[in-house]
């Protein structure tokens, strides 16, 4: 029940692709929830508010792995977006990478 409420709260910030699959993934990886709750403040601080945030679950059944992606859809040029992603990594994500491992990734795509 707590995970379902958390997904509802996350959907206020993120556009959630395949919410049932992501709910199942978060049930198996509840330690990722604080990072998902914290990420938007860092992303908005660096990218500004003119973006959209998506949650997508990527899987490879043959390799037996799932990875949750925060996808930042932004209006920036590829160079500007890459610079902002580098800044996000330096100022926040690289510090949490050892805690989220290969279960959470952040990427940027054009709007």
Asked whether 84 and 74 are in contact (CB, 8 A), the reply is yes
* SS3 per-residue string spanning the chain: CHHHHHHHHHCCCCEECCHHHHHHHHHHCHHHHHHHHHHHHHHHHHHCCCCEEEEEEEEECCCCEEEEEEEEEECCCHHHHHHHHHHHHHHHHHHHHHHHHHHEEEEEEEC
Which sequence spans correspond to the domains of the chain? 2-110
> pLDDT tens for residues 28-56?
999 999 999 999 999 999 999 999 999 99
> Sorting pLDDT into bands at 50, 70 and 90, what band is 62?
confident
**CATH tag, 2-110:** 3.30.300
What the block records as the tokens of 9 is 């709260």
> Sorting pLDDT into bands at 50, 70 and 90, what band is 87?
very high
> pLDDT tens for residues 7-34?
788 989 999 988 899 989 999 999 999 9
């Amino acid at each position: 029940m707590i995970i379902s409420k958390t997904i509802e709260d996350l959907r206020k910030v993120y556009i959630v692709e395949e919410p049932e699959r992501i709910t199942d993934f978060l049930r198996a990886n509840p330690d990722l929830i604080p990072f998902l709750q914290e990420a938007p403040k860092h992303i908005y601080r660096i990218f500004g508010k003119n973006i959209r945030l998506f949650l997508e679950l990527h899987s490879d059944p043959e390799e037996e792995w799932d990875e949750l992606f925060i996808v930042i859809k932004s209006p920036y040029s590829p160079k500007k977006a890459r610079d902002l992603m580098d800044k996000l990594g330096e100022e926040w994500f690289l510090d949490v990478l050892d805690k989220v491992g290969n279960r959470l990734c952040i990427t940027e795509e054009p709007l």
